[in-house]
């Protein structure tokens, strides 16, 4: 069984008298920084000049460059894009690290795959909200919190877990519950989930269904509704009450078809491929490819991104969504 922590298990006094530098002010940064401040924690923001810098100042924060933030902070939460973290760490954080400082992350990629190797005398931990930043912020302002993960990679002070839990409380996560994990487990499962199911699996499934209908002569508009648009309704039901709630809500015809045809789409071959994908993640092959891809300025990523944007489902979808006044542009 997993270990869960709640408000009563976390003590904000571990952050009292300390300065937290939130480095990055994007999706996670803006949410975590504002929640922490409202929980009574002293927060400064570390950034480069630009769009986020202006936003953080408008939100009333003291903003400094990352070098200064690293020097002034006791706790440094790194909320930069994962593929930028190693470089910024090396240039602007590592040179100033002193014994007893705490490095935090919201995703384990750089630590787990050895792109950031902190000195032994600092704490290294993870506090990862299991939700996009805007929800981290909104739920907190409504008095709640989103669930999160905590993990300790390196405990130099003996207090790494207490500090991580205090931080999780400060951003509201212990209101909902925080699960203890490891950098390895969080990193590998996060990569697998987004590749095999949430992003890669779902995108290919949607496109394959759309293409099958269009190639058989059906109208692309109809195919779009059946294979993409209605996905949201199904996922909302799963989110609210699992597969059972979804199957309760759909027709019995749909449910029977689900049982008969689903296993013919996701076959043993699909599952074998999933296992292979997981192995490549565990063995660092995926991480290596992505790191090299970034060092080469993303030739493969950019080419595929461009051709995916030109897929017929995107063209028909853009036109149809014009008809849907309730969808935000």
Report the catalytic residues: 107
By CB under 6 A, which span of 10-18, 47-55, 153-161, 202-210 interacts with ligand NDP?
47-55
Q: Answer yes or no whether residue 50 interacts with ligand NDP by CB under 6 A.
A: yes
CA distances from 323 to 1, 14, 221, 316, 326 (A): 48, 52, 12, 12, 9
Radius of gyration (C-alpha) of the chain in whole angstroms: 22
CA distances from 216 to 20, 133, 211, 219, 318 (A): 58, 41, 8, 9, 22
Q: Measured from the CB of residue 52, what is the shortest distance to ligand NDP in angstroms? A: 3
Tokens read off for 82: 């994962």
Beta strands 178-180; 4-5: pairing state: antiparallel
| Nearer to ligand NDP (CB atom), residue 80 or residue 103 | 80
The interface partner of residue 123, options being Mg ion, ligand NDP, none and the CB cut-off 5 to 8 Å by kind, is none
**Which of 21, 66, 76, 176 lies at the binding interface for ligand NDP (CB under 6 A)?**
66
Instruction: Give 111's contacts (C-beta < 8 A, 6+ positions apart).
Output: 105, 118, 124, 126, 153, 183
| Nearer to ligand NDP (CB atom), residue 22 or residue 152 | 22
Q: Segment 173-212, which members bind Mg ion (CB under 5 A)?
A: 190, 194
| Mask for 125-144, x = binds ligand NDP (CB under 6 A) | ---xx--xx-----------
| Nearer to Mg ion (CB atom), residue 7 or residue 190 | 190
Residue listed under structure tokens 């209101």: 175
Instruction: Give 93's contacts (C-beta < 8 A, 6+ positions apart).
Output: 23, 66, 67, 70, 76, 78, 103
Q: Measured from the CB of residue 128, what is the shortest distance to Mg ion in angstroms? A: 10
| Mask for 80-119, x = binds ligand NDP (CB under 6 A) | xxx-x---x-----------------xx------------
**Which of 19, 26, 96, 293 lies at the binding interface for ligand NDP (CB under 6 A)?**
26
By CB under 6 A, which span of 18-26, 143-151, 203-211, 311-319 interacts with ligand NDP?
18-26
Binding site for substrate, by residue number, is 251
Asked if 141 and 116 touch (Cβ cutoff 8 Å), the reply is no
Q: Measured from the CB of residue 291, what is the shortest distance to ligand NDP in angstroms? A: 15
If one counts every other C-beta atom within 10 angstroms of the C-beta of residue 290, the result is 17
Tokens read off for 101: 């400082």
| Nearer to Mg ion (CB atom), residue 99 or residue 254 | 254
Asked if 122 and 103 touch (Cβ cutoff 8 Å), the reply is yes
Which residues are at the interface with ligand NDP (CB under 6 A)? 24-29, 47-48, 50-52, 66, 79-82, 84, 88, 106-107, 128-129, 132-133
Which residues are at the interface with Mg ion (CB under 5 A)? 190, 194
């Amino acid at each position: 069984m997993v270990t869960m922590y709640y408000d009563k298990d976390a003590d904000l006094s571990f952050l009292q008298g300390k300065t937290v530098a939130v480095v990055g002010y994007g999706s996670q940064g803006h949410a975590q920084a504002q929640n922490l401040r409202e929980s009574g924690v002293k927060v400064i923001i570390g950034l480069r000049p630009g769009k986020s810098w202006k936003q953080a100042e408008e939100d009333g924060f003291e903003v400094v460059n990352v070098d200064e933030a690293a020097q002034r902070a006791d706790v440094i939460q790194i909320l930069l894009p994962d593929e930028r973290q190693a470089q910024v760490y090396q240039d602007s954080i590592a040179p100033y690290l002193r014994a007893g400082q705490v490095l935090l992350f919201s995703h384990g990629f750089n630590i787990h795959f050895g792109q950031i190797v902190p000195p032994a005398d600092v704490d290294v931990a993870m506090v990862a909200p299991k939700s996009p930043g805007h929800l981290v912020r909104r739920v907190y302002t409504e008095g709640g919190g989103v669930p999160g993960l905590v993990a300790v990679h390196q405990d130099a002070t003996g207090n790494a877990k207490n500090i991580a839990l205090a931080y999780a409380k400060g951003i509201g996560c212990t209101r909902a519950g925080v699960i203890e994990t490891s950098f390895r487990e969080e990193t590998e499962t996060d990569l697998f989930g987004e590749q095999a199911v949430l992003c890669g699996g779902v995108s290919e499934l949607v496109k394959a269904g759309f293409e099958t209908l269009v190639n058989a002569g059906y109208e692309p508009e109809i195919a779009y509704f059946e294979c993409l648009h209605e996905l949201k309704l199904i996922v909302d039901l799963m989110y609210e009450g699992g597969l059972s709630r979804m199957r309760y809500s759909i027709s019995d015809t749909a449910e029977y078809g689900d049982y008969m045809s689903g296993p013919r789409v996701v076959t043993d071959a699909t599952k074998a491929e999933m296992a292979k994908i997981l192995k490549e993640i565990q063995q660092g092959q995926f991480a290596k490819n992505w790191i090299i891809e970034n060092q080469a300025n993303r030739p493969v990523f950019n080419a595929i991104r461009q051709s995916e944007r030109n897929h017929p489902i995107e063209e028909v979808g853009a036109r149809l969504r014009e008809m849907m006044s309730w969808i935000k542009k």
